[in-house]
Amino acid sequence: MANYKYHILICGGTGCRASKSGEIVQNFKNILKQENLDNEIQVITTGCFGFCEKGPIVKILPDNTFYTQVKPEDCEEIVKEHFIKGRKVTRLLYTDPEKKEHVSDSKHMNFYKKQMRIALRNCGFINPENIDEYIARDGYAALAKVLEQNDPQATIDIIKKSGLRGRGGGGFPTGLKWEIASKNPADQKYIICNADEGDPGAFMDRSILEGDPHSIIEAMTIGGFCIGATKGLVYIRAEYPLAIQRLQIAIEQAREYGLLGKDLLGSGFDFDLELRYGAGAFVCGEETALIHSMEGQRGEPTFKPPFPAQEGYLKKPSNVNNVETFANIPVIINKGWEWFSSIGTEKSKGTKVFALAGQINNVGLIEVPMGITLREVIFEIGGGIKNGKKFKAVQTGGPSGGCLTEEFLDTPIDYDNLIAAGSMMGSGGMIVMDETSCMPAVARFYLDFTCEESCGKCSPCRVGNKRLCELLDKITSGKGTMEDLENIKNLSQVIKDTALCGLGQTSPNPVLSTISHFWDEYVAHVVDKKCPAGQCKALKQYIIDPEKCKGCTACARNCPVGAIKGTVKNPHEINQELCIKCGTCQAKCKFGAISVQ
């Protein structure tokens, strides 16, 4: 068996392949064979490095040399210089655009710094079921620091100055929230962790709880100390059994170490945690609904004020923060607010975790500094659109957010910019759509979700969203009228204006944003009775090209509803009234005579 000294990793992603990375692989193999090095150096094709704009990429291990824009003819030079003479090929090394220096170690390249892991710092690093590994990575040091300093206001000030804002969607300044709760005197207060993650496709909270549960325990204890709460509650959805299990193990371990319980670290401060299970209702992510649910009441929101900081769980002052928000706290305390506030944009500090999904190559969980552009996220980190299709829109903020088009790709992502663009940060769902996505259908999908998840308390959300959904149904099934479009616009505006809670107020966002950015597509459904993306089944038409049809009868024989008529050797025809648009005929036609319109 060979024992290779070097490995040549060549990017085999779509982008690099297009710029001849296949040829490069072949060249390397040939040259190495010629030079008799094929037993010492191995050539490997890897997945996308995500650095397509500088492709093709060649990485040499173990010295981490990173060559960019390599051409097939460069292979010989690399082999001779790098491997035989031991000198790097400087002209191919990556140049840091800011420092204008060649960088060879891929770990130090800017591209790799596009992501920055603060909230996810320990996820994928430590064993979440072992408190020692958390402590080894400075776990509970922030708590110790806070307790030793024994000045809740000073800690609140740090969080305030850090500029940390709620990561659950609203973006309310966390430090300010803590300060308000700390100033309401009461015999008992509560600090609550909102782990009722409900946005379709978003799972950063689950990942944090599964990968780094102690960071939440530590942060909640710090929060409890700051606002004067000796009890913490984690409201977690019962559909997250592993997160629950890991959190329970972590709580037990923290108690054994005396990091939960009485007299923490000799400070005299008592704090303990309990779990409360949610039954998976989206609206229970709204803090007043969450509190009602924890109390055993129906999970529905109530008007604010009173805010939870005044009257929360069991009518006591309570502070609710989301999992990701908490995950940031210990780092801010350990590394200082100055460090944290140096990351991000003017009004949005730090990082945000996004769940990248949809028609994108690298679906996954990413954490990026605020201010990064959608383009960087989608095309660099996400590896671009699947199958080389064209980018159409990106949906952020889940069912409360909106769809953003190409014109927003270079907008820096932060709370305020997203709202200004007609979407929102939300909890960080990011769904990328390509040209085959039908926007009215996308809006309908989200509305369907909101209808399902509405608590039914206020009329605009209970009835209004249902009607909105029905109207979108009409549009996508080709039965809509221009008046329906006007009604959709008015209704969306009224729901936004009148619904009781955040869920209802933001529920028309997917509709409003697609209407404003893709008006033509709506009109096409209504006036031309066509779905430009070819997604809306009711608007599809299968048509046989009489020129190409040989009259083989395969389509007619396979049509499940007998909608195709014709005689042998004569062109066939599809009865559109009967056609159920199943596509069988197209699949069966050997002559490519059937097309969709």
Partner 1 sequence: MGETNMDMIKITIDNKVVEVAKGTTILKAAKDNNINIPTLCYFELAGMDIVNKPGSCRICVVEVEGRRNLAPACITECTPDMVIKTNTTRVLNARRTVLELLLSDHPSDCLVCPKSGDCELQNLAIRFGIREINYVGEQSTYKQDDSPSIHRDMNKCIMCRRCEMMCNEFQTVGALSAINRGFTAVVSPAFEEDLTLTSCTFCGQCVAVCPVGALSEINHTGKVLRALNDPTKTVVVQTAPAVRVAIGEEFGMAPGTIATGQMATALRKLGFDYVFDTDWSADLTIMEEGTELLNRLKKFLAGDKDVKIPLMTSCCPAWVNFFEHNFPDMLDIPSTAKSPQQMFGAMAKSYFAEKKNIKREDMVVVSVMPCLAKKYECSRDEFKVNGNPDVDYSITTRELASLIKLANIDFAALPESKFDDPLGESTGAGVIFGTTGGVIEAAVRTAYEIHTGKKCPKIDFEELRGLEGIRSATIDFDGLPINIGIAHGLKNARKLLEEIREGKSKFHAIEIMACPGGCIDGGGQPRHHGNSEIIKARWNAIYEADKNLPIRKSHENPSIIQLYKEYLGEPCGEKSHHLLHTHYFNKHNVFEVDLNKK
Partner 2 sequence: MDKIKSLADLKKKRDAIQGSLNLRENGDNSESMIQIKVAMATCGIAAGAKQVMETLIEQCSSKKIDAVVTQTGCMGYCYAEPTVEITKPGQDPIVFGHVSVEKAKELVEKYILNNEMVEGIIPQNYQSIDK
126-165 binders of partner 2 (CB under 8 A): 126-130, 132-133, 135-141, 144-145, 147-148
What phi, psi does 72 have (nearest 5°)?
-55, -35
Q: In the stretch 333-352, what mask flags binding to partner 2 with x, by CB under 8 A? A: --x-----------------
Cα–Cα distance measured from residue 467 to residue 479, given in angstroms and rounded to the nearest whole number? 15
The residue whose two tokens read 């500094």 is: 369
Cα–Cα distance measured from residue 571 to residue 564, given in angstroms and rounded to the nearest whole number? 11
The amino acid sitting at 530 is: K
For 193-254, the DSSP string reads EEE---STT--HHHHHHHH-HHHHHHHHHHHHHHHT-SEEEEEEETT-HHHHHHHHHHHHHH
Give the one residue of 321, 454, 513, 584 binding partner 1; rule: CB under 8 A: 454
Cα–Cα distance measured from residue 346 to residue 355, given in angstroms and rounded to the nearest whole number? 24
- Judged by beta carbon, residue 285 or residue 358, the one nearer partner 1 is 285
Give the one residue of 80, 117, 457, 540 binding partner 2; rule: CB under 8 A: 117
Q: Does 457 bind partner 1 (CB under 8 A)?
A: yes
CB–CB of 347/415 below 8 Å? yes
Name the β-bridge partners of 385.
Answer: 360
We find the least distance from the C-beta atom of residue 60 to partner 1, in angstroms, to be: 55
* Angle formed by the axes of helices 213-227 and 152-162, nearest 10°: 120
Q: Does 203 bind partner 2 (CB under 8 A)?
A: yes
CA distances (Å), origin 19, targets 46, 57, 379? 15, 10, 16
We find the least distance from the C-beta atom of residue 513 to partner 1, in angstroms, to be: 17
We find the least distance from the C-beta atom of residue 47 to partner 2, in angstroms, to be: 6
Please list every residue from 289 through 328 that binds partner 1, using CB under 8 A: 298, 300, 302-303, 305
CA distances (Å), origin 277, targets 322, 449, 571? 15, 22, 63
What phi, psi does 111 have (nearest 5°)?
-55, -40
**Tokens at 558, concatenated:** 């396979």
Q: Does 256 bind partner 2 (CB under 8 A)?
A: yes
Q: Does 286 bind partner 1 (CB under 8 A)?
A: no
We find the least distance from the C-beta atom of residue 377 to partner 2, in angstroms, to be: 12
For 284-313, the DSSP string reads GGSHHHHHHHHTTS------SSSPTTTS-G
Q: In the stretch 314-333, what mask flags binding to partner 2 with x, by CB under 8 A? A: -----------------x--
Say how far residue 352 (Cα) sits from the centre of its chain.
9
**Tokens at 135, concatenated:** 């402590």
Cα–Cα distance measured from residue 175 to residue 545, given in angstroms and rounded to the nearest whole number? 67
Helix (H) or strand (E) holding 556: helix 554-558
Q: Does 266 bind partner 2 (CB under 8 A)?
A: yes
Which does residue 70 bind out of partner 1, partner 2, none, counting CB within 5 to 8 angstroms by kind? none
Q: Does 342 bind partner 1 (CB under 8 A)?
A: no
Residue 401 is classified by DSSP as S
- Judged by beta carbon, residue 284 or residue 370, the one nearer partner 1 is 284
Residue 69: CB atoms within 10 Å: 16
Show the beta-strand stretches assigned E in 41-113.
Answer: 41-46, 58-61, 65-67, 94-96, 101-103
Across the beta sheet with 364-369, the strand order is 364-369, 351-358, 429-434, 391-396, 402-404
Q: Does 489 bind partner 1 (CB under 8 A)?
A: no
Q: Does 269 bind partner 2 (CB under 8 A)?
A: no
Q: Does 526 bind partner 1 (CB under 8 A)?
A: no
The residue whose two tokens read 């552009």 is: 373
Q: Does 537 bind partner 2 (CB under 8 A)?
A: no
- Judged by beta carbon, residue 354 or residue 518, the one nearer partner 2 is 354
Q: In this chain, which stretch among 18-26, 120-128, 155-163, 562-570 interacts with partner 2, using CB under 8 A? A: 120-128
We find the least distance from the C-beta atom of residue 36 to partner 2, in angstroms, to be: 18
CB–CB of 401/424 below 8 Å? yes
Give the pairing of strands 101-103 and 94-96. antiparallel
Which does residue 487 bind out of partner 1, partner 2, none, counting CB within 5 to 8 angstroms by kind? partner 1
Which does residue 140 bind out of partner 1, partner 2, none, counting CB within 5 to 8 angstroms by kind? partner 2
Cα–Cα distance measured from residue 42 to residue 21, given in angstroms and rounded to the nearest whole number? 16
Give the one residue of 355, 458, 472, 485 binding partner 1; rule: CB under 8 A: 458
Q: Does 287 bind partner 1 (CB under 8 A)?
A: no
Residue 379: CB atoms within 10 Å: 21
The residue whose two tokens read 């009441």 is: 297
Q: Does 451 bind partner 1 (CB under 8 A)?
A: yes
Q: Does 155 bind partner 1 (CB under 8 A)?
A: no
We find the least distance from the C-beta atom of residue 202 to partner 1, in angstroms, to be: 20
Q: In the stretch 88-107, what mask flags binding to partner 2 with x, by CB under 8 A? A: ------------------xx
Which does residue 498 bind out of partner 1, partner 2, none, counting CB within 5 to 8 angstroms by kind? partner 1
Which does residue 455 bind out of partner 1, partner 2, none, counting CB within 5 to 8 angstroms by kind? partner 1
Q: In the stretch 357-376, what mask flags binding to partner 2 with x, by CB under 8 A? A: ----xxxxxxx---------
- Judged by beta carbon, residue 58 or residue 515, the one nearer partner 2 is 58
- Judged by beta carbon, residue 194 or residue 506, the one nearer partner 1 is 506
User: Count residues contacting partner 1 (CB under 8 A)?
Assistant: 35
Please list every residue from 490 through 519 that binds partner 1, using CB under 8 A: 490-491, 494, 496-500, 505
Q: Does 206 bind partner 2 (CB under 8 A)?
A: yes
Cα–Cα distance measured from residue 296 to residue 305, given in angstroms and rounded to the nearest whole number? 21
Which does residue 229 bind out of partner 2, partner 1, none, counting CB within 5 to 8 angstroms by kind? none
Contact residues for partner 1 (CB under 8 A)? 281, 283, 298, 300, 302-303, 305, 451-460, 462-467, 470-471, 487, 490-491, 494, 496-500, 505
